[in-house]
Amino acid sequence: MGDLELHENSEYDLDTNLIITLYRKVLNTSVKRKPAIAHRDLKSKNILVKANGTCAIGDLGLAVRHEVSTDTVDIPLNNRVGTKRYMAPEVLDESMNMNHFDSFKRADVYAFGLIMWEIGRRANVGGIHDDYQLPFFDMVPSDPTIDEMRRVVCIDRKRPSVPNRWHSSHVIKTESVGGFEIIALQAMSRVMKECWYHNAAARLTALRIKKTLANLAASEILRTVA
């Protein structure tokens, strides 16, 4: 077992099951778990990848619980903050409504999109993959401050760049090997971009992400049995 960041340092064939299990462990806790929880510090280093390719989530020290009976958010009392690189815009500029559980879910969705970007970069499609990098690697230092992240994410409204190969229709038409993987990367890029919206309310919901990824996984299953 190792963390997802370590896993991403090795190239691998794109496996949508990894994304599905990642969703189930990361975002499904805010949908099905009772009481629902939001992690608040999602990053590749906090996701453990088991030998069978499934995921487990670590470091719940900042997690918040939603008490349905009172519609309140149980926020742990500590001085820790999340990892700045993965903070959503509303967390960086302190505009987030801390009294609404949906606010925390939406911040987790933003971080989930960044993790999907990390996974996609390392996917081996037709013998091609990108070097492993952290989100915003080319925009901020290795240990950015909140002010540095706020400038990039909130003021300049920048997001990680998506490699051209992820949405290259030319590859789909001319390459028989890796055709599905290209389509999967196209779908992933659409999902992650909708997770990154500056307006938190405009981001994909956890349920919408679940449906999109489930359809993608079903397409892969059909491909393998065809």
Compare 148 and 1 and report the one with higher pLDDT.
148
In the set 41, 71, 74, 108, the catalytic residue is 41
Compare 10 and 122 and report the one with higher pLDDT.
122
Q: Do residues 187 and 125 make contact, with C-beta atoms less than 8 angstroms apart?
A: no
Q: Do residues 224 and 13 make contact, with C-beta atoms less than 8 angstroms apart?
A: no
pLDDT in tens, 12-38: 444 555 666 666 666 665 445 567 889
Compare 184 and 196 and report the one with higher pLDDT.
196
**CATH number of this structure's domain 2-225:** 1.10.510.10
Q: Do residues 149 and 92 make contact, with C-beta atoms less than 8 angstroms apart?
A: yes
Q: Where are the domains of the chain?
A: 2-225
What is the predicted pLDDT for the residue at 2? 46
pLDDT in tens, 44-64: 888 887 777 677 788 888 889
Average pLDDT, the chain: 79
**Is 143 assigned a catalytic role?**
no
